[in-house]
Amino acid sequence: PPMLDEHGPARVMAMCNQKGGVGKTTSTINLGAALAEYGRRVLLVDFDPQGALSVGLGIQPHELEQTVYNVIMERSVDVSGVIRPTSVGNVDLLPSNIDLSAAEVQLVAEVGREHTLLRVLRPVMDSYDYVLVDCQPSLGLLTVNALTASDGVIIPLECEFFSLRGVALLIDTIEKVRERLNPKLDITGILATMFDPRTLHSKEVMARVVEAFGDIVFDTVINRTVRFPETTVAGEPITRWAPRSAGATAYRTLAREVIAR
């Protein structure tokens, strides 16, 4: 992809699937790191109270005094004071921890509750090319905030039979948000994850996904490999932990597809 002379305004993408363990957080870190290798400035937003994105970047979330929670709930807290650099060049993080679990309830009483994340990200939008929001595994108000702030949604989908079941509900939610809150929202792509090339089952699920969703499925497929759990322990993206691995190559290919879309 061509290098950029100037940066921003950011394209915001929610990494979203209400099922847990499908590769949302892993894809947020590694797509972000791969986009950064192509010279893009990237902000990763941890929008899950579990803080797995923060941990995956080597940050201990329970030690943080301020997180995305303070930014969205306290008007006096400036987002740029809470965003921190990571060990990955061109990648910054807006971290999260368990405090965020209270926001789901507290936000309900706020005016413009669905637009809160959009509002707090606005001042930094010109500093980045991509903002990736790692959603929690639910379709609640925090996820609706992520969708309202986004231009696109990336749906990581595990290559398991039952994983297809929730996707209709997710797409329904995306359509409602588009109609009522954010007309520019689009599905950037569906990303098949945990693909096992040795099993017929994986191939069958993949065929059904392509049959059901067609062109919006990324050509890039992420294989199942123990390398990914290893990177979580290392607190680094796979592009740095194992730069020549198949997993790193796959996320670079995905980054090129995302830039092209």
Give residues in contact with ligand ADP (CB under 6 A): 20-26, 52, 137, 193-194, 222, 224-225, 228-229, 232
By CB under 5 A, tell whether 19 contacts Mg ion. Answer: no
Q: Given phi > 0 = left and psi -120 to 50 = alpha, else beta, which region is 8?
A: left
Among positions 11, 24, 40, 224, the unique one binding Mg ion when judged by CB under 5 A: 24
The three state secondary structure string of 164-204 is HCCHHHHHHHHHHHHHHCCCCCEEEEEEEEEECCCCHHHHH
Contacts of Mg ion in 32-91 (CB under 5 A): 52
State the distance between the two ends of the chain, measured CA to CA, in whole angstroms: 12
Q: Measured from the CB of residue 123, what is the shortest distance to ligand ADP in angstroms? A: 27
Task: Tell me which residue of 110, 185, 91, 191 sits closest to 146, measured CA to CA.
Answer: 185
Q: Given phi > 0 = left and psi -120 to 50 = alpha, else beta, which region is 256?
A: alpha
Q: Which does 193 bind (CB under 5 to 8 A by kind): Mg ion, ligand ADP, none?
A: ligand ADP
| Three-class DSSP category at 146 | helix
Q: Measured from the CB of residue 119, what is the shortest distance to ligand ADP in angstroms? A: 25
Q: Which does 95 bind (CB under 5 to 8 A by kind): Mg ion, ligand ADP, none?
A: none
Q: Which is nearer to ligand ADP, 58 or 123 (CB)?
A: 58
Tell me the β-bridge partners of 43: 92, 131
Q: Which is nearer to Mg ion, 34 or 38 (CB)?
A: 34
Q: Measured from the CB of residue 114, what is the shortest distance to ligand ADP in angstroms? A: 22
Q: Which is nearer to Mg ion, 28 or 90 (CB)?
A: 28
Q: How many CA atoms lie within 13 A of 127 on its CB side?
A: 13
Q: Measured from the CB of residue 137, what is the shortest distance to ligand ADP in angstroms? A: 6
- Burial of 47 by CB count in 10 Å (0-12 exposed, 13-18 middle, 19+ buried)? buried
Sign, Cα dihedral of 234, 24, 15, 243: positive
Q: Which is nearer to Mg ion, 24 or 224 (CB)?
A: 24
12, 151, 168 from 18: Cα distances, Å: 19, 19, 11
Q: Which is nearer to Mg ion, 37 or 46 (CB)?
A: 46
Q: Which is nearer to Mg ion, 8 or 21 (CB)?
A: 21
Q: Which is nearer to ligand ADP, 30 or 67 (CB)?
A: 30
Binding mask 204-243 for Mg ion (x = CB under 5 A): ----------------------------------------
Q: Measured from the CB of residue 193, what is the shortest distance to ligand ADP in angstroms? A: 5
d(CA 64, CA 97): 8
Residue whose C-beta lies closest to Mg ion:
25
Contacting positions for Mg ion (CB under 5 A): 24-25, 52
